[in-house]
Amino acid sequence: MERCRNAFSADETQAFWLWFSAHSFADHEEYKQKLDRLLSGEPIQYIFQSAPFHRYEYAVGPGCLIPRPETEELVELILQKPEIQSLQQWLDIGTGSGCIALTLAQERPWNFKAVDISAEALHWAQKNWNNCPTPVKERVELQATDFLSWNKWPDGIQAIVSNPPYIATQEKPQIKDRVDKWEPTCALYSPNDPLLFYRKMAELCANTNSELWLFLEINQVLAEETSEVFSEAGCLTKKIADLSGNLRFIEAYWPGF
């Protein structure tokens, strides 16, 4: 890993060494090919087509957003909230690898509709769905759809979870090349309006009679603005910080009417 020491920080090199040491290789040539890919900037999760998330391991690759530790925090927030444990019908918007829906469905006996516009992302979600136990697969439905074209929530939905695109165009220079050049643009950026997906969710809430819970990952820079989108629609909202102290999540409750 001497080449890594010359290319990456000490912490990055240590993390990459742990990845490589945890895997076996057919021969030195395979090892060299994977190391070359790493040095080219490709995310290590894509190289090994695997990413840890919560207590599970999920398949990931090009076209699929790599699961983040912050999103694990969102999942844990949901698992620890007593008021929602009896809710059975869930919607995961922008499911990507399926890590949120599949993790929650393995931890709780909940039913999920997991949707995404990207066929590439759903390819990986399908792989992960295939690897789940049959009782979990029976409770998770994957669907290709353009959420922004919806005019109502699916019938019976009680709770929504989402980590939608929320990075603004002006933030692009701050995004690491390993993210910007490799991970799917449609899962990262909402260039014209970083609040676009949240506005759509709030709009759909305002047009439904049924009460709903929403648990959302957000852009920490736009925490106040995101919260206002839901409060102005009539939702009770709460901003929640992640373990680093950044306002990373919104919990919103639509009481119905």
Average pLDDT over residues 92-113: 98
- Per DSSP, helices labelled H in 40-164 are 44-48, 69-79, 99-107, 119-130, 134-137
pLDDT in tens, 171-182: 989 999 989 999
Which helix (H) or strand (E) segment holds residue 148: the answer is none
* DSSP-derived 3-state class of residue 128: helix
242, two tokens? 């992640």
Six token digits for residue 48:
């090994």
pTM for this prediction: 0.92
Whether residue 7 has pLDDT greater than 70: no
What DSSP letter does each residue of 27-45 carry, written as one string?
Answer: SHHHHHHHHHHHHTT--HH
User: Where is average pLDDT lowest: 38-52, 106-120, 125-139, 216-230?
Assistant: 38-52
Q: Terminal CA-to-CA distance of the chain, rounded, Å?
A: 61
Q: Which of 29, 41, 70 is nearest to 53 (CA)?
A: 70
What torsion do the CA atoms of 27, 30, 36, 37 make, to the nearest 10 degrees?
Answer: -150
d(CA 58, CA 68): 12
Q: Is the Cβ–Cβ distance between 227 and 241 less than 8 Å?
A: no
**CA contacts within 13 A on the Cβ side of 193:** 10
Q: Does residue 33 or residue 22 have the better pLDDT?
A: 33
> Which band of pLDDT confidence, cut at 50, 70 and 90, is reported for residue 131?
very high
With a cut of 80, say whether residue 45 has pLDDT above it. yes
Q: Which residue has the higher pLDDT, 20 or 230?
A: 230
* pLDDT-wise least confident of 24-28, 97-101, 242-246: 24-28
**Number of Cβ atoms within 10 Å of the Cβ of 117:** 16
Between 152 and 25, the more confident residue is 152
**What per-residue confidence (pLDDT) applies to 6?**
54
Whether the pLDDT of residue 26 is over 60: the answer is yes
Sketch out the chain's domains with CATH numbers: 2-40 (no CATH), 66-254 (3.40.50.150)
Give the per-residue pLDDT at 30. 85
CA distance linking residue 188 with residue 208, whole number of Å = 28
| Averaged pLDDT, 179-194 | 93
What are the backbone dihedrals phi and psi of residue 252, each rounded to the nearest 5 degrees, phi first? -125, 140
Stretch 175-194: mean pLDDT, rounded?
A: 93
User: For 9-13, 63-67, 117-121, 190-194, which range has the lowest pLDDT when averaged over its residues?
Assistant: 9-13
| Overall residue count recorded for the chain in this entry | 257
Interval 54-84: pLDDT, tens = 999 999 999 999 999 999 999 999 999 999 9
Q: What ranges in the chain are assigned the alpha helix state H?
A: 2-7, 10-21, 28-39, 44-48, 69-79, 99-107, 119-130, 134-137, 177-180, 185-188, 196-206, 223-232
**Dihedral (Cα; 177, 240, 202, 89), 10-degree rounding:** 100
Q: Which residues contact 109 (CB under 8 A, 6 or more apart)?
A: 88, 139
d(C-alpha 200, C-alpha 147), whole Å: 8
